[in-house]
Amino acid sequence: MKGKHNVSIVWFRKDLRVSDNPALLAASGGIVVPLFIWAPEEEHDWPPGGASRWWLDRSLTALQEDLAKCGSNLVIRRSKSLPALLSIIQETQAKTVFWNRCYEPWMLKRDHEIESALRAQGIRVKIFNAGLLKEPASILNRQGKPYQIFTAYWNWFLEKDEMAKPCSRPRMLVGPRLWPHSLSVQDLRLRPSFDWAEGIDQTWKPGERNAQKILRKFAKGPVLHYREERDRPDHEGTSRLSPYLHFGEISPRTVWNAIPKSQRSLSYLRQIVWREFSYYLLYHFPHIHSSGLRRKYDGFPWRDEKHVFKAWQEGKTGYPIVDAGMRQLWRTGWMHNRVRMIVASFLVKHLLIRWQKGARWFWDTLVDADLANNTMGWQWAAGCGADAAPYFRIFNPVLQGEKFDPQGNYVRRWVSELVHLPASWIHKPWQAPEKVLSQAGIVLGQTYPEPIVNHEFARRRALTAYAQYWKK
């Protein structure tokens, strides 16, 4: 197909939006061919999991609708990235390729190779930052080295007077006279073949428009109570923007600039910078997706008991707050952040199962399965990451439940077997009197499991294992 000299390709990846998309805006002065390439084999050993594929299916459909409102279209190809780009370039006679940067180590390497290959053929390449507030390479400490402590990194952000504003949204996009062949979203076969995702479907509405709606609602009031509410899984105190940020349906710049700047909203902005810090560490220490930032923990003698790992996956540990979190994850593709810390601590310290196994399970089941955040969250729990919980800090799941779900409403929502148990016993049903259990219709070991491990025993075992490892 013959095209004009100002035809440009905009390669969409983890920036599935029209607003604050610098690559799309920069290309919008000429003829634009938006392109998405499905190449999961290029995602190293972390191809998108089941929940991510579900979200991507809906997100691409939403992006198509948003581009159509701008008079454009989305071309979809299933291939390795470079051959797909070269094919589209040949079909459209495009002279420039625009994209926004990804920060996973293998994607940085791949993009550099693609950029070199395109430039060698006389194709211009324009690359932008659309996914982070600041480029990781631009922030170093006074010694010229990367920060490894969050507080110092956060202070660097606080010293900045203002953050970059979101760029404008193109009103109209001019397309080619003849559009290249495209697959449909359905052709990618991203949807699960069984009803596992039914609960996710009922919980989430992917797409840029829904992300903007959630942000507006959160910024009008709930953000001012975020500091008090963020640790309460029984309340709706968080923004739930994480999957939209992960897929780039909304940018951190947009979020940052929409939140009123006050002491009461600072706790939420701090979480946005935690996300930033996770990417920053992944950029500067690319090994951390598989091993600890603190590599001295890599040789720890983890256990590998498949039956207890399965009980943890299925939410059948006998600890209600842990089981509620794991069932919420399976049902909705998401888990409250406080509960993520509890279930992660339980896996690595109560069960002594390596954090990488938990990270893999989250990767497959979370709709916000973000490599940087998921990795650093698990390393925090395991004690081998930045600002990590020390090895002797072992969450007591009963006390955590009583503190953050005091009436047991979160547990009752996700662990139906315990719905009639009084609040005083709901986080420790094995201690409840037989009469109370009977009145609640509970038979421990039958309708609801006994604890798979005793907390005090698990705590002593973990502390002993860590102490012996340190001696070596």
pLDDT tens readout for residues 299-339: 888 998 999 999 999 999 999 999 999 999 999 999 999 99
- As for how many domains the chain has, the answer is 3
| For residue 161, pLDDT beyond 80 | no
The confidence score (pLDDT) of residue 389 equals 65
Q: What is the percentage of the chain residues whose pLDDT exceeds 70? A: 97
CA of residue 386 relative to chain centroid, distance: 18
Percent of the chain whose predicted confidence (pLDDT) is above 90: 86
Query: Does a structural domain hold residue 243?
Result: yes
Do the domain assignments include residue 361? yes
The range of the structural domain enclosing residue 255 comes to 131-165+199-284
Assigned domain for 242 exists: yes
Statement: residue 259 has pLDDT above 50: yes
Q: How much is the pLDDT for 470?
A: 78
Average pLDDT over residues 395-409: 98
412 located within any domain: yes
Tell me the angle at which helices 320-332 and 355-365 cross, rounded to the nearest 10 degrees: 40
- d(C-alpha 446, C-alpha 297), whole Å: 38
Q: Which two tokens stand for residue 287?
A: 């090994």
> What is the tens place of the pLDDT at every residue in 415-435?
999 999 999 999 999 999 999
Whether residues 221 and 300 fall in one domain: no
Residue 454 and residue 355 share a domain: yes
Based on the fold, state whether residues 319 and 419 are members of the same structural domain.
yes
Res. 5: pLDDT tops 60: no
| Residues contacting 386, CB < 8 A, separation 6+ | 148, 149, 150, 277, 281, 293, 376, 379, 380
> What distance in Å separates the CA atoms of residue 430 and residue 448, rounded to the nearest whole number?
10
Q: What is the pLDDT of residues 13-48, one digit of tens each?
A: 999 999 999 999 999 999 999 999 999 999 888 999
Last residue of a domain, one of 258, 284, 310: 284
Identify whether residues 84 and 116 lie together within a single domain: yes
Is the pLDDT reported for residue 191 higher than 50? yes
8: DSSP letter: E
More confident residue, 5 or 60: 60
Does a structural domain hold residue 161? yes
- Co-location of 338 and 354 in the same domain: yes
Q: Which residue has the higher pLDDT, 2 or 377?
A: 377
pLDDT tens-digit series, residues 339-356 = 999 999 999 999 999 999
Note the pLDDT of residue 195. Answer: 65
CATH code of 52's domain: 3.40.50.620
At which residue do the structure tokens 């998309």 appear?
21
Query: Is the pLDDT score of 270 beyond 50?
Result: yes
Q: Rounded mean pLDDT of the chain?
A: 94
- Amino acid letter, 258: A
240 lies in the same domain as 387: no
Q: How far apart are CA 229 and CA 208, in angstroms?
A: 26
**Domain membership flag for residue 289:** no
pLDDT score for 77 = 98
Shared-domain flag, residues 419 and 311: yes
Whether residue 439 sits in one domain with residue 335: yes
Please check whether residues 236 and 367 belong to one and the same domain: no
CA dist list (Å): 420 to 71, 416, 429: 55, 9, 11
CA distances from 157 to 133, 150, 215, 274, 308 (A): 10, 11, 22, 11, 42
Residue 380 pLDDT > 70: yes
pLDDT of residue 2: 39
Q: Are residues 125 and 147 in the same domain?
A: no
User: Which residue is it, tokens 């293998």?
Assistant: 106
Say yes or no to pLDDT of 71 above 80: yes
Same domain, 146 and 218: yes
List, for residues 115-146, the tens digit of each pLDDT value: 999 999 999 999 999 999 999 999 999 999 99
Would you say residue 180 lies in a domain?
no
Enter the tokens of residue 208.
């840029």
> Are both 312 and 364 inside the same structural domain?
yes
Q: What is the pTM (predicted TM-score) of this model?
A: 0.95
Q: For residue 45, what pLDDT is reported?
A: 85
CATH number, domain with residue 265: 1.25.40.80
Q: Quote the pLDDT of residue 14.
A: 97
Establish if 318 belongs to a structural domain: yes
